Amino acid sequence: MLTHGNMVANVLQVAAWVSPNLNDGEEDPTLTEGELLAHCKQHLTAYKMPRIVEFRSEPLPKTNIGKILRRELRDGSAAVTAQAASLPVASA
Amino acid sequence: MRVATMASRYRSHLISLRDGREVTLRAIVEADATKIVQAFERLSAESRYYRFMRYKKQLDGRALERGVHPRPGREFAFVATVPAAEGTDIVGAGQYVRAGDGNEKTCEFSITVAEDWRGGGLATRLLASLVRRARRDGYETMEGWVLAQNTPMLAVARKLHFKSEPVSGDAAVLRVQRAL
């Protein structure tokens, strides 16, 4: 899981990515949205809670030298998006 | 081996850092793979995040393989080494590869310096060496993606005449670039 937050024009953007990319051995493909949110709730204060949880099956987009490009993550639309229940949608 | 031959054309040499310490700067070779893994394991989570823009527990095997076999004339990687109990330790690395924007004349760089070896100008030396080498490879532009909070790297890039610009859709990252 990777989290990152930054303030832009009074909008707090928080993104968390989980990908079943087993090559790295870093991610858990069985993780569910509920488990993820429960984990966040336990460890994060309310305002840091993710507003949107999105699961993707494809590898994270990277530059040729291996850096993750978040703008492409954001632009991508292939993934199934699920909004966390009862939380207002901010931006992701 | 062809790779070894190409690598050996860059003569290994000793450079002095501002803090008085010395490191050897040379082209990467296949045998560095193990040392690269060890150097990665010594890096803090934050340093790994700055380099890969994600939290990374281990190096991807294929990426490592590619990294120690740069394609001659198109990619290059320098390592900075120091003597260690078992041979040498890698304390810094810099590389460039062809950028992914479809422009054959643009390359993308990355720099990593071990925490204990910062503040002596090593990143600047690595990037300056990459700039010279990329020019020889015929590239016209060098670019890099740097987290906006990574102010030491932004300062290094600025010193070497890179301009930074915002990245549309991602305020956390800046693109630095310069003509070669």
CB contact under 8 A, B58 and A26: yes
Residues of A with CB under 8 A from a CB of B: 1-2, 4, 6, 8, 13, 17, 23-26, 60, 63-71, 74-75
How big is the CA angle at A67 (ends A61 and A68), to the nearest 5 degrees?
40
Which domain does B113 fall in, by range? 2-179
Q: Are B109 and B96 in contact (CB under 8 A)?
A: yes
ipTM (interface pTM): 0.86
Task: Give B71-123 pLDDT, tens digit per residue.
Answer: 999 999 999 999 998 889 999 999 999 998 888 999 999 999 999 999 999 99
* Total number of domains in chain B: 1
Q: Grade residue A74 by pLDDT with cuts at 50, 70 and 90.
A: low
CA–CA gap between residue B172 and residue B150 (Å, rounded): 10
Instruction: State whether B169 and A8 contact (CB < 8 Å).
Output: no
Interface test with A, best of B47, B52, B53 (most A CBs within 10 A): B53
Domains of chain A listed by start with CATH number: 2-83 (3.30.300.30)
Site from A11, A26, A65, A70 to mutate, B interface, most B CB atoms within 10 angstroms: A65
Q: Enumerate the residues of chain A whose CB falls inside 8 A of the CB of residue B56.
A: 24, 26
Q: Which residues neighbour A9 within 8 Å (Cβ) at sequence distance 6 or greater?
A: none
For residue A41, give the amino acid letter. K
Provide φ and ψ at B165, rounded to 5°. Answer: -140, 150
Dihedral, CA of residue A67, residue B137, residue B28 and residue B4, to nearest 10: 140
User: How far is the alpha carbon of A50 from chain B, nearest alpha carbon, in Å?
Assistant: 17
For A20-24, A62-66, B126-130, B148-152, which range has the lowest pLDDT when averaged over its residues? Answer: A20-24
* Section B127-134 average pLDDT: 97
Say if the Cβ atoms of A23 and B60 lie within 8 Å. yes
Q: What is the spatial distance between Cα B154 and Cα B125, in angstroms, rounded to a whole number?
A: 14
Tokens of B6: 């190409």
pTM: 0.77
pLDDT confidence bin for A75, thresholds 50/70/90 = low
Q: Supply the CATH number for residue B68's domain.
A: 3.40.630.30
Of B51, B60, B99, the CB nearest to A64: B99
- pLDDT band, residue A78 (cuts 50/70/90): very low
Tell me which residue of B112, B113, B103, B176 sits closest to B143, measured CA to CA: B176
Burial class (CB in 10 A: 0-12, 13-18, 19+), B112: buried
